[in-house]
Structure 1
Amino acid sequence: MGQRASVSGFDFFTAGELPAPALPADEVVRLVREHWGIDVDLEPLGSQQDQNFLARTPDGDPVGVVKITNPAFTADEVDAQDHAASLIAAAWPDLRIATTGRGADGTPRAVVAATGEGPLMLRLLEFLPGGTLHGPGHLSPAVVARMGDLAGRASVALADLDHVGLDRVLQWDLRHAHRVVDLLAPFHPDATKRALVEDAAARAWADLDAIADELPQQAVHLDLTDDNVVCRVDRGIRTPDGMIDFGDVTRTWAVAELAITISSVLHHAGADPVSVLPAVRAFHALRPLSTAEIRALWPLVVLRGAVLVVSGEHQVQIDGGANDYAASGVEREWRIFEQATSVPTAVMTAVLAEALGVAPAEVGAGAPHATTTRLAAEPAIGPDRAVRLDVSITSDAVDAGAWLDPDLEERLAAAALDGGAAVAWLERATPRLTASRPLAAEPAATVPTGIDAWFATTTHLSADGDARLVVEGADGVTILDGTVPARTRARIRLEAGDGPHVPHLVRPGFATGWLALTEDPARALGLTGDDADTADRTTAERDAADLVARRDRTYAEVQEHYYEAPPRIERGWREHLVGTDGRVYLDMVNNVTPLGHGHPGLAAAVAQQLRTLNTNSRFNYGAVVEFAERLAGVAPDPLDTVFLVNSGSEATDLAIRVALAATGRRDVVSVLEAYHGWTYASDAVSTSTADNPNALASRPDWVHPVDAPNPFRGRHRGADAARYAPEAAERIRELAASGRPPAAFIAETFYGNAGGIPLPDDYLAEVYAAVREAGGLAIADEVQAGYGRLGNWFWGFEQQGVVPDVIAVAKAAGNGYPLGAVITTREIAARFRTQGYFFSSTGGSPASSVAGLTVLDAFRDEGLQRNAAETGAHLKGRLEALAERHPLIGAVHGLGLYLGVEFVRDRATLEPATEETAAICDRLLELGVIMQPTGDHQNVLKVKPPLVVARESADFFVAMLDRVLSEGW
């Protein structure tokens, strides 16, 4: 890669120091008035080598950006910048591009002015509102993808640009990165950092040397970073939709455009190398990368980081500390470099290739998975005496939280050896649940790059082939002679002979790259067949995106799933859910499972019943009688009779039908903004527009909604919420007076669908009295609030000091097993007989009845209701403290473990922060927390975790929510 002898424009290597212009603001004000007849106030903007001001009218309206170009740059170079901006604007009319503004006569607002520092080029560029991505805040995958899209658009638009002003040598042109580092590194004040930068730059440059001639060149923006993409802000969400600062436009490697863009992602909160993949995919979709460009991309990112570090420190020194922009960037630039070098280039190249559908071997990242090395064991071991251990998330061995036992693998190995195995081993590439831990903001290193083996007798290992054999003890210390003591863990890897050292466990996001640098020791030892290939399991068998695609092909679209790109969940334990890559998530939304996931007692009881009998409830067996007795026993007098069904929708549907039959009427009063189910009757009384946008327009004429008794954002707020009850009672009396007395009034006993909001005091007492006075029944929908979730009460209606005529309950009753119930009086139930027989095939089956009994036993024995009260109070207090520091939190609703965190853009107007809430949930998922929005405005976090949730889990949730609200989403 030779250097040109001369260039027509600026040449960094002959220019010497390049201090930025430093005109006084009052002089710039005078120049703007003199040349363009505009009176402005100026606000300094940052720049590494130019001088920029935001110009406003005296009234504060933006006029544009005054850019004072460094005098080292020629007029041709400035013209090339303007030409490039115009080309992109013409190619992509939907983008906002900061072109040079024009006066009323159409002439460009650009001039060479006489200044105190000599002749300087001044331009008044168009001001693009909305701000940039400047700062350390978190960038969502969607924003990162949009950055790659913008870089791709610039690359496409500038592909054919040819201009004399492109003939320049910039320190930011990565074709010259090694020279920049060599020149400026000696100025870095930290010898340790200086050595790291020099070493990384040398290795990256060596990687580029072999392919440089294969890299296409063209005009590029060269600075499409987070600081130079502007955003529109729509309903609280930033979306990059434009670009500014064309000062670095030049001709260089086309792929450098993308490398510079993605490097700027790396300093943001929560970012790591795999965070850039959405941008790479988006760029590739517009402007496909060649194999050589994929190989070059990460070395260029490393070089960009190195150039930023040495250039930033150098600029601070030559500006004598006066350049705050350069000084403030030093820490940011070091983080970019640290992240760029946090994994070897070969690993990231393989990860990038896989993300673009290219085999890592095609870009020279590692070798094919076929084993080329043979391992010899002395004494020899045959596959018939080898026992493969399994601690993946689907293994029975990790049931009941066994994966949290640090000795589990050792116990499994000892049992296998005691049973006569010559070797017990754990396979390569399959994520190990034992390597993960709950309550972690970052994914754990769960994917093994080699095998773990325990030999029955002392065994010597040797390798024949190209790979490097690594044998380590459990402590990670290398066993130099390859001799493994009997019954002792050995970590065995076959690493690429010329490659970097490989960790034994790696994070799933990087697994493709690390596995490409290894071979499978199990195959090399003959422990598996020649056709075995574990290297692809993390990206093929367990690919969550592929599973979603399969689901979409066969599952009705209306049956939605959480998240746009959900992880694949195949295991749960207590308040935790586990992805197939071993990532453990805190489940803060799953009120279906009060006992928690994977409850051993429930699993054992239901399994035993399924082994003996499971049939319909018309047969005479004990479980259904015992469960009905127990359920009636937890209901208040006079409710003593039970119907059993399969779900909450069926329970509320049946409750309505019972009321209609018992009263001989057809009208029902319900509450707005409520959800009761999906069956005909339960849907008819549901008015939540979040669940059904047409809910209010599609109610049948027999349903009569009353105002949502929401004291936070309803028609009556605060103390005025006491008006909801008399208004609802009056509506019931009006119906009765008009000849349509209601059969029933149905309501959630705790306003759950709106976000866990308690009903106003005495609301149910007054409304129940009114409906009963009219001869109707009071139906309590306890599907969500029932079963101790409120903490101090087993039933939600107890908080209101009332007893309904009919209870509908489900969800918690079976801990996820299909089970729902209606509880009423013997008299009311008897009246339903006028409708004929009632029968639910699996409602009240032996297995579901046993599940119901086991849940009630757990409530009695495991203190779930007490935990709901105590942990719920602690959690609510922590969330209320959070609201004091984050104005986006408008209120924290609820009691016990039935809470809602409501987000608003303005605490006075209560404008719902709908889009922000969805984005917050997505960011929480990245940090290991499952959370979803609720309410008609979808702006409330529905905090309804399993009732076993521990205080430390509640604290982790609050910490992660605090992090999201602080760092952004």
Structure 2
Amino acid sequence: MTDALFDYFSCSELPTPTLPLAEAEQLVRSRFALNATLQALGSQQDQNFLVRRVGDAEPLGVLKISNPVFSELEIEMQDAAAETVARRHPPLRIPRIVEGASGAMSGWWETTQGRLHARIISFVSGSTLTGSGYLSPRMVERLGELSAAVSIALAEAEHPASGRVLQWDLRHAERVISDLLQTEPDEAIREIVSRATARAGAALEPVTEQLPRQLGHFDVTDDNVLRPSGPATLPDAVIDFGDVIDSWAVGEIAVTVSSVLHHADASYLTTLPAIAAFHARRPLSEAEVTALWPLVVLRGAVLVLSGRQQVRLDDDNDYASGALDREFEILRRAIAAPIEVVTAQIRAALGFAAAGPPEWDAAPVLPFTDGVVVLDAATQSPLADEGAWLGDDAVERAAQQLLDRGARAVVLPALRPALLGAPARTPSEPATIPTAASVWFAEPTTLRLPGVTTSGATLVARHADAVLSVDAPAPEIPARVRIRVLLTRAGGPPVPDTIRASELAGWAPFIGDATSALGIHSPLANGADDRLLDRREAVVAGVQEHYYASPPRIERGWREYLADVEGRVYLDMVNNVASVGHAHPRIAEALTRQSRLLNTNSRFQYAAITRYGERLAETLPDELDTVFFVNSGSEAVDLAIRLALAATGRRDVVAMAEAYHGWTYASDAVSTSIADNPDALQTRPDWVHTVEAANAYRGRHRGPDAAAYAPEAAERLRALAAGGHAPAAFLSETFYGNAGGVQLPDGYLREVYATVRDLGGLAIADEVQVGFGRLGSWFWGFQQQGVVPDIVAVAKSIGAGFPLGAVITRREIADRYRTQGYFFSSTGGSPLSSVVGLTVLDVIQEEGLQENARVVGAHLKRRLEALVSRHPLVGTVHGQGLYLGLEFVRDSTTLEPAREETAAICDRLLELGVIMQPTGDHQNVLKIKPPLCLSQDSADYFVDMLERVLETGW
């Protein structure tokens, strides 16, 4: 309690005020004439209470009792800084002193703990980002935007108290750490902090004199920003100006970035959106970029030691003790990569010029270059075909095979993403880029290593755990043993064996491709085309969309996996097109063999179309004996409708609402999904009529009451007929696919089919998504309903990714099509299409994929159903077998769709290595339709990752 400015180094221990609640309430009444109740809040060094007027539902503000070491001038500076930011950046919500009947609610109190300063600061509604939940890239970016906004607003501000000395001022961080280390009892903590501080200090020291200073908030952190209630909202408020000082301006973003690091799955890479957003608004200088990460490290060290000291001083300070783990996590992640590597990564992200990689300017070290084979371990390499990339020893196996084929030496280049040996299921990006070139010699070979070259590059070679020294006599390398040769910059940071593709820019100044030092020219491509997505969007129609805003470039599939060009493997939980698994070798073999024999249009006479037609008809009831072949599901539905019109001589079709059937004229006409076409219901031609979606979960009739859908649909059919619109057909999916695999009420199709037939119409089953064993217990969806349709349309699964569709019906219906002319599809039923279709049927039967769908699907559904009771967002699980939908709702009673949450969950799952997309008119259902070969381990991984998202956020 003095007019002197606070100096931490004169008073390093700051126990918080502990005014009793009752006394604080009495003082509020007497000093501020306010009848209010208080609720204690946490604080590191002050004492805070939430203030609520008696009778009011909403809080009035926060009573802040300042630590008595702070002068009135310093408190005034905090309030003045808040006013400045609020005035200069109006979009931000900023707390201010509450005005009462007799003026500002601020002043000194005489209390049982001495004279204390107290003020009521206006309540700012919303929630903080407190905790260690996941922060999306957009949320991290927003933190950088807020940090920049505050920095810019305070850039010209001045105050006589700005020279106070706080422990949080990063200009003094090394001294603070040194003092706190003296009292830190844990030797392991002392060692970690000391080592981190020494490295950060060494990196910071050359630029300290070049760092601009200004007044700043220096605490724009996850705890001190607020966002409005509601899904996908971004923070728009900054609170707690208690750390306002004059310091290095770059400290503003350094503090913000440090607060990101303790959140779920955070790393220095995930902080880049905040840094880029800050730089875009308040550009960082070269010196500030150099200083940024060392300051993040020092901030982490100060947090760790200060928090531990505060807990030792005040055992009852739950706020301080609750932060210990996350504060240590900040430091741990801040030092997880070398400072110089992180700085290079930041420079690249901000567009600063980067140092080139070390280059070899000495003689090649290989004693020969003839007979050397370059090993291609990339995603598209033939060496990775048919799952050969699986297994930790995949690279070793490939190298030995090349030696067996006569290679004198095999070289795996450095710095190129490798799929060989990549893990199949990883919740984070795996390290798939080797930093060293690898060499295998067919015979024992002597390898000579020079020292540091004139350009500062050096080679490090090792095999197993032995390092080959440049000073020792040239060693003889054993035959067929892997030697790693690293080209690095002398004096650079320690280099790991592998790095992640996203880290390449940070390591680029320190690692070169040792292939050149070996004297080998590598013809292999290095990295992905960064402009490929832009090129796609420039040439492909915009409405032909792609998954994800920033999609990975997928160039290989195998079973239920997809692999991108950086060696990341994803679990594909949405791809019902690849029904029997990606890149099935039997399909590839059948395609290759038939393409060497014959591929022509279906008017020629050849065996495959007959055999395939017979096999397909055998899977259906006897009366469905005649097949048309087309190329897609849209064509199949279109043709099914045309068959019904021709067979009945009518023009009206009745379809279920909220469904999608295709993009051709007729299949689009009967599609009423507003997710696919927002104007679907208003733009249907007059010959299309709808019945209500028979959704027992969120429709008008729910649960047992869903039995009412069938008689109401039947009545609708009869009313149309009575009004002169007798239907040619009733068309629906046999499982309600667009809504996420919703099962129709029992008996629904039996009653509706009977009614449409009584009226002289036909029943069309759209089996494009659900047919061909996906349900597990039934090969066809209509079998679950105990009915037989008149016409079946099918595609997707029957070609396993090959363009193939079919319509199956009775002979008399098929023959009626001649009244419309003739039917012809050039490649529908071609030799190639037919052979693929036959092979798919063989694979489903011989590999037991329908049974796999039943067993694994039942296990998957049980695990998904267990989420309903644990996570309020999970509404229900739809479907059967491997045709499932997980519906997200914000309220279990109103069933308000969680659209934004579902989209964010899908994006989050991608980061965790799972391909998933939303479906349904409200886009709030996970579309779970993986390849039928899905393993139980993969099903469990999907649910584990989904639960991780539900627990840590999205």
- Common fold, TM-score beyond 0.5? yes
Choose from 107, 124, 147 the match for 2:120.
Answer: 124
Q: How far off its partner does 1:939 sit?
A: 0.9
Whether 1:310 and 2:305 are equivalent positions in the alignment is yes
For 1:383-394, what aligned pairs fall within 5 Å after superposition?
384-394=370-380
Q: Which amino acid aligns with 1:815?
A: A
CA distance in 1, matches of 2:73, 2:270: 38
Task: Tell me, in whole angstroms, the C-alpha distance in 2 between the residues paired with 1:931 and 1:102.
Answer: 52
One-letter code aligned to 2:446: T
Counterpart of 2:460 (choices 464, 470, 476) is 470
Moved more, 96-105 or 860-869: 96-105
Q: Name the counterpart of 1:500.
A: 493
Secondary structure of the equivalent of 1:211? helix
Return the offset for 1:420: 4.1
* Corresponding letter in the other structure for 1:630: R
Higher mean alpha-carbon deviation, 601-610 vs 714-723, is at 601-610
**Residue 769 of structure 1, CA deviation:** 0.5
Q: CA, structure 1 residues 768+477, in 2 after alignment: closer, same or farther (shift >3 Å)?
A: farther
**Structure 1 counterpart of 2:437:** 451
Query: Where does 1:161-176 land on structure 2 (aligned, <5 Å)?
Result: 161-176=157-172
Contact 2:393–2:421 (CA under 8 A) maintained in structure 1: no
- What's the CA shift for 1:477? 4.2
| Corresponding position of 2:602 | 617
TM-aligned CA deviation for residue 108 of structure 1: 2.8
Q: 2:857 aligns with which of 865, 868, 872?
A: 872
1:618-657 alignment to 2 at 5 Å?
618-657=603-642
Shift of 1:373: 4.7
Deviation string, structure 1 residues 832-869 (Cα, Å, up to 9, x no partner): 11111212222222222221111111011110100000
2:338 is the counterpart of 1:344: yes
Secondary structure of residue in 1 paired with 2:793: strand
Partner residue, 1:669: 654
1:375 Cα shift?
5.8
Aligned to 2:143: 147
**Please, which of 67, 70, 77 is the counterpart of residue 70 of structure 1?**
67
C-alpha displacement of 1:377: 3.0
* 2:447 corresponding residue in structure 1: 460
Residues 138-183 of structure 1: per-residue CA shift (max 9 Å, x gap): 1111111111111111111111111112111111111111000000
Write the deviation string for residues 197-220 of structure 1: whole angstroms up to 9, x where unpaired: 011111101111101112111111
The 5-angstrom pairing of residues 151-550 of structure 1 reads 151-234=147-230, 236-319=231-314, 321-361=315-355, 368-369=356-357, 371-374=359-362, 376-377=364-365, 380-382=367-369, 384-456=370-442, 457-464=444-451, 465=453, 466-473=456-463, 475-480=464-469, 481=472, 483=475, 484-528=477-521, 537-538=526-527, 541-543=528-530, 546-550=531-535
Q: Distance in 1 between matches of 2:271 and 2:436?
A: 27
What's the offset of the Cα at 1:755? 1.2
Q: What is the identity, as a one-letter code, of the residue corresponding to 1:467? A: A
1:841 aligns with 2:826: yes
Structure 2's unaligned 5+ residue stretches are none
Asked if the contact 1:689/1:695 (under 8 Å) is kept, the reply is yes
SS at match of 2:234: strand
- Give yes or no for contact 2:358–2:510 (8 Å, CA) kept in 1: no
Partner of 2:39 in structure 1?
A: 43
TM-aligned CA deviation for residue 311 of structure 1:
0.8
8 A contact 1:648–1:783 mirrored in 2:
yes
> For the structure 1 residues 435 and 188, does the alpha-carbon distance in structure 2 shift closer, same or farther, using more than 3 Å as the test?
farther
Q: Deviations over 1:740-766 (max 9, x none)?
A: 100000000001111111100110010
Give 1:237 deviation, angstroms: 2.7
CA deviation string 1:312-338 (max 9, x = no partner): 11111222x121111111111111100
C-alpha distance in 1, partners of 2:448/2:715?
86
Q: What is the CA-CA distance between 1:700 and the residue it aligns to?
A: 1.2
Partner of 1:580: 565
CA distance in 1, matches of 2:730, 2:185: 76
- Helix, strand or coil at the partner of 2:440: strand
1:915 to 900, 925, 940: 900
Instruction: Indicate which of 870, 873, 886 corresponds to 1:888.
Output: 873
Maintained 8 Å contact 1:375/1:521 = no
Q: Is the 8 A contact 1:899 1:943 kept in 2?
A: yes
- Letter of the 1:645 counterpart: V
Q: 1:103 pairs with 100, 119, 123, which one?
A: 100
Cα separation, partners in 2 of 1:550 and 1:87, compared to 1, 3 Å:
farther
Do the aligned partners of 1:375 and 1:462 also contact (CA within 8 Å) in 2?
A: no
RMSD over equivalenced CA pairs, Å: 1.7
SS of the residue corresponding to residue 435 of structure 1 reads: coil
Residue of structure 1 equivalent to 2:76: 79
Q: Is residue 831 of structure 1 aligned with residue 797 of structure 2?
A: no
SS at match of 2:635: helix
CA distance in 2, matches of 1:542, 1:110: 60
Q: Unaligned regions of 5+ residues in structure 1, if any? A: 1-6, 362-367
Residue 459 of structure 1 contacts residue 486 of structure 1 at CA under 8 Å; is this kept in 2?
no
- What code does the residue aligned with 2:105 have? R
Residues in 1 aligned to 2:47 and 2:926: alpha-carbon distance in whole angstroms: 45
Instruction: From the superposition, tell whether residues 260 and 411 of structure 1 become closer, same or farther in structure 2 (CA, over 3 Å).
Output: same
Three-state SS of the structure 2 residue aligned to 1:143 is: helix
C-alpha distance in 2 between matches for 1:685 and 1:751:
14
CA contact 1:584–1:928 (8 Å) conserved in 2: yes
Q: What letter matches 1:469 in structure 2?
A: L
- How many residues get paired? 943
Shift of 1:620: 2.3
Q: How does 1:690-705 map to 2 (within 5 A)?
A: 690-705=675-690
Q: Secondary structure at the match of 2:757?
A: helix
2:763 maps to which residue? 778
1:515 partner letter: A
SS, match of residue 452 in structure 1: strand
| Aligned mates of 1:841, 1:644 — CA distance in 2 | 10
- Normalising to structure 2: TM-score of the pair? 0.97
Question: 1:918-937 alignment to 2 at 5 Å?
Answer: 918-937=903-922
In 2, Cα distance between equivalents of 1:608 and 1:563: 36
- CA contact 2:360–2:516 (8 Å) conserved in 1: no
Q: Which segment drifts farther, 135-144 or 26-35?
A: 26-35
**Rounded Cα–Cα distance in structure 1 between residues aligned with 2:657 and 2:127:** 40
How far has the Cα of 1:476 moved from its partner? 4.6
- Per-residue deviation, 1:417: 3.1
User: In the TM superposition, what is the alpha-carbon distance from 1:376 to its structure 2 partner?
Assistant: 4.6
TM-fit CA distance, 1:547? 2.4
Amino acid at match of 1:461: R
Post-superposition offset of 1:8: 6.2
> What is the rounded CA distance, in whole Å, between the counterparts of 1:218 and 1:615 in structure 2?
76
Q: Which amino acid aligns with 2:467?
A: T
Q: Distance in 1 between matches of 2:301 and 2:509?
A: 26
Q: Which amino acid aligns with 1:641?
A: T
Equivalent AA in structure 1 for residue 51 of structure 2: A
Query: Offset of 1:248 from its aligned partner?
Result: 0.4
TM-aligned CA deviation for residue 669 of structure 1 = 0.5
Work out whether residues 902 and 924 of structure 2, in 8 Å CA contact, stay in contact via their aligned partners in 1. yes
1: distance between equivalents of 2:488 and 2:465?
A: 15
Residue 855 of structure 1 aligns with an amino acid whose one-letter code is V
